[in-house]
Structure 1
Amino acid sequence: MKAVKYIFLFLLVASCGTVINYDYEKSTDFTQYKTYDYFGDMQTGLSQLDTKRIIQSIDAKLATMGLTRSDDPDFYIDILSQDIMNMNNSTVGVGAGGGGGGSFGGVSVGIPIGNNQNTRQIVIDFVDKKQNERLFWQAVSESNYRENASPEKREAYFDALIEKIFSKYPPKK
């Protein structure tokens, strides 16, 4: 039953406007990276509990890809998150006009529909600290995120999001 819940949430995250943009250094040999760790002074912008959840999701996904967490890593991971308010520009226009005798006039009023929508932007950077902190891979995701969701839903949200983010790692050249 728990697996069905995760699959449902994964499909929900995948279909509900999650946008992920990737960038990477073309000259990078991704096969050289086998171990990783997180920056010790990382300020994620998430709560402590959500930070633990996203790190657990990343650790689990990277382990399935053959990468291991190490005290002497090949690269470091940085996570940054922020809320973004998307302004709703949807309106209904009501207009009136008239004319006669060579003169014209008109009035138009826009009535907003719906509410502004908050989304969460999460940036995940892979940095080679041995090469002067060279950024070699980055994923930027933007998706709907409910701060008042239950812990189970938050965990499932991060699992599904990380699965989608790392579907393009390492990049196909």
Structure 2
Amino acid sequence: MKFLKCLLLVFLFTSCGTLVNYDYEKSTDFAKYKTYNYFDDMETGLSQLDDKRLMRAIDAKLSTMGLTRSENPDFFIDIQSEDVMNRNNSSVGVGAGGGGGGGFGGVSVGIPLGGNQNTRAIVIDFVDKAQNEKLFWQAASESNYKPNASPEKREETFVKLVDKIFAGYPPKK
């Protein structure tokens, strides 16, 4: 029984994390990119306030990596996102059975774990505009999202998300 409790806790903690997938052009020389900016016409799918929060978090992270925001950048950043409603189909079955006197019987009950969760999928593209808008790096993430969170909590969430996203930049070849 102790083993099942531990297994359930591990499952719950690992299922609530942020998933990040990376892709990049293998022939890219990432060392040549020192300056960046955002596309002017981005349709991020976020509110204006969340746009600013996410861009501040990205600016702070890229600054620590030696990249500078510029009006004449080496590459542009494009951000897209959407809300994803995940239905939680996880449940634990509890059953009881018995038999006696030649008859068998049983009862089973499914207990749902958690409820539906809102997640936000965010895709960040790095595009070399000088090379005919060539996409050279992309990160796609999906993480828990609380639409009614306080501004401070949203800011904190974006900072943590950006740290995870940019853990894969530049890619280790």
- Alignment partners' CA distance in 1, 2:143 and 2:166: 15
- Alignment partners' CA distance in 1, 2:59 and 2:109: 52
Partner of 2:157: 157
| Structure 1: unaligned runs, 5 residues or longer | 1-13, 96-107
List, as ranges, runs of 4+ consecutive aligned residues in structure 1 with deviation greater than 4 Å.
Answer: 91-95, 108-113
| Structure 2: unaligned runs, 5 residues or longer | 1-13, 96-107
Q: After superposition, give the CA deviation of every residue in 1:39-70 in whole Å (9 maximum; x if it has no partner).
A: 00001101100000000000011111111111
Alpha-carbon distance, 1:115 to partner:
2.0
Once the two structures are superposed, the pairs formed by residues 21-170 of structure 1 within 5 Å of their partners are 21-91=21-91, 114-170=114-170
| Secondary structure at the counterpart of residue 22 of structure 1 | strand
- Alignment partners' CA distance in 2, 1:44 and 1:119: 15
Structure 1 letter corresponding to 2:81: S
1:112–1:29: structure 2 CA closer, same or farther, 3 Å change rule?
same
- Alignment partners' CA distance in 2, 1:144 and 1:54: 15
- CA RMSD, 1 decimal: 2.4
Alpha-carbon distance, 1:16 to partner:
3.5
| Secondary structure at the counterpart of residue 84 of structure 2 | strand
Farther off after superposition, 142-151 or 84-93: 84-93
Please report the TM-score for the alignment, with normalisation by the length of structure 2. Answer: 0.79
Matched residues, percent identical? 74
Alpha-carbon distance, 1:89 to partner:
1.9
Structure 1 letter corresponding to 2:42: M
Partner of 1:6: none
- Specify which structure has the bigger relative contact order, considering alpha-carbon pairs within 8 angstroms and separated by 6 or more residues: 1
Please report the TM-score for the alignment, with normalisation by the length of structure 1. Answer: 0.79
1:94–1:165: structure 2 CA closer, same or farther, 3 Å change rule?
closer
